[in-house]
Structure 1
Amino acid sequence: MTDDRTARGLRRRHLLGLPMGLALAGLARAQPADNLAFVGQDNYIFAAWDSLTTPDWKGINATVARVAQVGQLLAAKGVALVVPVLPDKMRIYEEKLPADKPMSPEMRQRYAGILSRLQAAGVATFDDEKLLIALKAAGQPVYYRTDQHWAQPAADATAQATADLIRQKVPNLAGQPGTGMALGPLINERRYGDLADRFLSPEQRRAVGREIYSVRRAGDGESLLADAPSPVHVTGNSMVQPYFGFPQKLSNLLDRPVSVNWKPGDVGFWRVLLEYVESNAFRQQKPQALVWQLFEPNFHLGPDARGLWDSASVVSAEEWQRRIQAALA
């Protein structure tokens, strides 16, 4: 690898750090821990803030409409929007739910309903639930047992599907071949997952135990500090932070630099998108493709979901609409 390829995978603000949770901080402050997570079979831990019975189709439809509008506004600027929706851990590991917390037939169809609505609205997306269920059937880990976050095989598989869709939407990415990030080796770390660490008592944590996290380090001569222009940008929650490897894998597959901005899940995907499209980086050089990562469990929440997003992140639907239109005008 030559020196001019060094450190071109991700921008300076995207330092590799310890994972931050998807947990909803507003809920965490308002409710006792046993209302925020529960332990299922084989010590699998699940977030308790999502429903197991009834999808919020009204909220889902509102989100679909906003996402479709963002796609149209971006397209007018020459930016292709790609929207991977990550499926709920409870759906992937339904057999690990406690016997007294079954998932309803309606909830089993929620992801399919979200996907079909997005596709009908013209949003570029793909069936990540099908992809990750197949990955699990092949014996690969999808979500960590004591954590809300995905494992490396799931991040890699989703990055592959995302890269394939980007190539369909943008056949000719700007930049030079050889500028993608080289992937380093996997290393193992033993620790508690975020759900265990944040929401279980010390006794419960000892009972469920730590688990092994396999994460990918940067390749030799590579760095997560870079200033090279990126034709692809990723925005989303902590699933797409560099610790879990999604942006690095996407950069490697596309063979181009990929930039990313992310926040913990309690900030909300509406605020994270605003942060990027209102930034100087976006104004000065727009990407050819914007990857907006969404998450099934909170897909139905609007920008004004008080008590569910962090209070500083809440914005009225009208204000969000005004700002997104101004940023993409």
Structure 2
Amino acid sequence: MSLTSRLTHTFKRLGTPLLGATLVLSMSAAQADDSTLVIRGSDGWLFPGWGSLTEVDAKGIDNSTALIKEARDALNAKNIKLQVIVLPDKTLFYQDKLPADKKLSADVKQRYQLIMSKLKGAGISTFDDFALLNQLRNSGTDVFYRTDQHWTQPAADATAVASAELIKREVPNLAGSPGTGMVLGKELKERRFGDLAERFLTPDQQKQTGRDTFVVRRQEAAAGLLDSTPAPVHVTGHSMVQPYFGFPQKLSNSLDRPVSVNWKPGNVGPWIMLLEYLESADFKKNPPQVLVWQMFEPSYSYGPQATGFWDNASNMSDSAWRQRLHGALGR
């Protein structure tokens, strides 16, 4: 049985197939020249080209934080703890690999900390994932793949452990029995192009850039987390938290409890992903004690209505999003 089919069987998934998902690629951007969609840095390092390296939308950050706080309060009323994980931008860790004409502004360098200050000021459960991953990077471990938008397994693992530690402090009595978490399997290595190289480079450019080695885990046959097992923790987000990169498995292993997950590519956006889960039969049948909502620093300021960034079916006004949120939670 392939890795993909094993994970598909094991995890409660309301999303799309596991591999090859793009984080933030708008419909309008998809029609642009491929050369504008990827930044080619030194030593074959590639970066997404559709986010700003110089401007920060502080008003958008405030608006998103207010919506998250409203979701937190609505979930609290249902005895569900919300934890928000904001994953930092790849460029923060590899500024030395950017081209000479593509530098981060002082505001963008501080954007992640601005988001953290807003979340913590609103009393929303979170942790500083940049500090965590920066420590890992400074130890000599890569936290993103060279030719891909996504994080490495060590980065996903470290974030999962931090998430689990916070959950244990805030919700010490998780439902379920010890021994029901996922048993981590052996590591596999795959030599291939990352999504940025595969999607946006010409064959000659791919040859010049070279492939990356992706490290993934083979799932143990008796790993648990079967679809029939209620999970006290659910993860919703984009392709960074898909099982291929290992985050939900490590979270389950660290908590020693089942973890469920729903995800779609990043051009769908975090707002519709939360609604899809809350409106699902799975949520109504087995609401979790903890909901982990994964967001992404570069797109944090994009609210539910971000025309040109989210796909058309995902765009909605703030008021429409609020209405669906409270409708799903029964207010």
Question: What is the TM-score when the length of structure 1 is the normalising length?
Answer: 0.94
* Secondary structure in structure 2 of the residue aligned to 1:265: coil
CA distance in 1, matches of 2:84, 2:36: 31
Aligned residue number for residue 36 of structure 1: 37
* Secondary structure in structure 2 of the residue aligned to 1:84: strand
The one-letter code sitting in structure 2 at the alignment partner of 1:110 is R
Structure 2 portions without partners, runs of 5+: 1-5
Q: Check conservation: 1:193, 1:210, Cα contact below 8 A.
A: yes
Shift of 1:23: 3.8
Q: Check conservation: 2:234, 2:290, Cα contact below 8 A.
A: yes
Aligned residue number for residue 60 of structure 1: 61
Per-residue CA shift, 1:295-328, capped at 9, x if unaligned? 0011010111111111121112221111111112
Shift of 1:9: 6.1
Aligned residue number for residue 200 of structure 1: 201
Aligned residue number for residue 86 of structure 1: 87
Q: Check conservation: 2:13, 2:263, Cα contact below 8 A.
A: no
Shift of 1:222: 2.9
Aligned pair in 2 of structure 1 residues 36, 224: CA closer, same or farther (>3 Å)?
farther
CA distance in 2, matches of 1:163, 1:71: 18
Per-residue CA shift, 1:147-173, capped at 9, x if unaligned? 000000000000001001111111100
Aligned residue number for residue 148 of structure 1: 149
CA distance in 2, matches of 1:63, 1:38: 27
Aligned residue number for residue 3 of structure 1: none
Q: Superposition RMSD on alpha carbons, in Å?
A: 1.8
CA distance in 2, matches of 1:254, 1:223: 13
Aligned residue number for residue 272 of structure 2: 271
The one-letter code sitting in structure 2 at the alignment partner of 1:295 is F
Aligned residue number for residue 184 of structure 1: 185
Aligned pair in 2 of structure 1 residues 63, 42: CA closer, same or farther (>3 Å)?
same
Aligned residue number for residue 161 of structure 1: 162
User: Percent sequence identity over matched residues?
Assistant: 52
Shift of 1:140: 1.0
Per-residue CA shift, 1:231-281, capped at 9, x if unaligned? 000000000000000000000000000000000000100010010001111
Q: Check conservation: 2:54, 2:108, Cα contact below 8 A.
A: yes
Aligned residues: 324
Shift of 1:22: 1.1
Q: Check conservation: 2:29, 2:50, Cα contact below 8 A.
A: no
Mapping of residues 98-177 of structure 1, within 5 Å: 98-177=99-178
Aligned pair in 2 of structure 1 residues 224, 176: CA closer, same or farther (>3 Å)?
closer
Question: What is the TM-score when the length of structure 2 is the normalising length?
Answer: 0.94
Shift of 1:226: 2.6
Aligned pair in 2 of structure 1 residues 138, 44: CA closer, same or farther (>3 Å)?
same
Aligned residue number for residue 326 of structure 1: 327
CA distance in 2, matches of 1:266, 1:137: 31
